[in-house]
Amino acid sequence: MKVEVEEIKIKEILKGLKDTSLATIGGSDVVSVSQFSKETIDGIFQLAKALRSADPDSYRKLLRNKTMSALFFEPSTRTSASFIAAMSKLGGNVIPITQGVQFSSVSKGENLEDTIKTLECYSDVIVLRHPEIGSADIAANVADIPVINAGDGAGQHPTQGLLDLFTIFDEMDHSKEHITISIIGDLRFGRTVHSLVKLICLYGLKVKLLLVSPEVLRLPAKLLDELKNHNVPYGETSFLNLTEPDIFYMTRVQQERFTEIAEYERNKDVYQINLDSLGHMKKDAIIMHPLPRVYEISPEVDSDPRAAYFRQAKNGLWIRMALLAAIL
Ligand code: NCD
């Protein structure tokens, strides 16, 4: 009985997402977070929560006979694994090209357009990660089936942005009137940062942002303009303040985006949260990281209840299940 009730609930939320057509989402691409309305985001989060608490029997046939191609031109653990797990849990199939495109015809010189057109013959949705900014737009223009951007170079990572915002809502103390989020590390190349900042603007989240990075890794001017246009208070600094933030969003310095290795070496290990830092932070602070981490958070922090990054990674599953279900 419980399973049937949950199944009906999930289908009702899905119908809501379709009907409102606030849902810019049903049957379409996910290239940037800019395409979402606040209502759509709320709908996706509502669905993700319903899936999280439901019995797996209530959704295991939802995407029966649907196929997702996972085309990854860059390394990935969480994004690829959670997309594949999401599709499997919903009863769908996966064509995984995640173990290196060197085993696909890309290594024979095939261009992105042809690869996309080919995968379209066999699948209902394509999840694409690619090193070039704008590649997801190119793929979306070529394909008649939905394309989901799983990271385009130093551009956007919309599904990560959604799961980050979902985690913030999940973890934060909603009774607090003033929330300060510190985003720390590589704000220039970090695509998860770009999507999160856009989402904070778009959602109208009432927060103050502390943007902490070395001089050369500052947030791109376009995103600073978005913050200004949306009246989001922010400060830019190179100094990591441990006492003020309610939320720490740590990021890896994106080695693969640097043209000069010396510049990477100079900036790769500027900020770290370790046992000593924990003592200075608020008792109810939240530590997030899209992962993988290299130096930014020492492993001894993991057992502290404030360490939210593995819970954050888990949320990626529910968000991607919700997105796939809504799109397909
Ligand atoms: C991020 C990415 O690929 O942009 N990882 C992820 O998807 N969870 C962050 C990173 O690689 O540093």
- pLDDT over threshold 70, residue 106: yes
Residue 157 annotated in active site: yes
Handedness of CA 239, 241, 242, 248 (dihedral sign): negative
- pLDDT over threshold 90, residue 17: no
At 151, the amino acid letter reads: G
Residue 108 annotated in active site: yes
pLDDT tens by residue, 191-207? 999 999 999 999 999 99
Q: Is 82 in the pocket of ligand 1 (CB under 6 A)?
A: no
Three-class SS state of 133: coil
CA of 192 to the centre of ligand 1 (A): 7
Q: Report the nearest-CA residue for atom 6 of ligand 1.
A: 290
pLDDT at residue 182, as a whole number = 98
What is the torsion angle, in degrees rounded to the nearest 10, for the CA atoms of residue 89, residue 90, residue 94 and residue 99? -40
85 vs 321: CA distance, rounded Å: 8
pLDDT at residue 20, as a whole number = 56
227 vs 200: CA distance, rounded Å: 9
pLDDT tens by residue, 297-321? 999 999 999 999 999 999 999 999 9
CA of 191 to the centre of ligand 1 (A): 8
The pTM assigned to this predicted structure is 0.95
pLDDT at residue 25, as a whole number = 59
pLDDT at residue 22, as a whole number = 41
Q: Is 157 in the pocket of ligand 1 (CB under 6 A)?
A: yes
Q: Do residues 133 and 155 touch, judged by C-beta distance below 8 A?
A: yes
Atom of ligand 1 nearest to the CA of 129: 3
* Catalytic position from the list 67, 79, 180, 192: 79
Stretch (H or E) spanning 184? strand 179-184
Query: Which pLDDT band, with edges at 50, 70 and 90, does 26 fall under?
Result: low
* Catalytic position from the list 89, 157, 191, 252: 157
Q: Is 78 in the pocket of ligand 1 (CB under 6 A)?
A: yes
- Which one of 77, 78, 130, 160 would you pick to mutate in the ligand 1 pocket, going by the greatest count of ligand atoms within 8 A of its CB? 160
What is the torsion angle, in degrees rounded to the nearest 10, for the CA atoms of residue 67, residue 72, residue 77 and residue 82? -20
Query: Which pLDDT band, with edges at 50, 70 and 90, does 21 fall under?
Result: very low
CA of 126 to the centre of ligand 1 (A): 19
pLDDT at residue 109, as a whole number = 78
Residue 250 φ/ψ, nearest 5 degrees: -85, 150
Residue 129 annotated in active site: yes
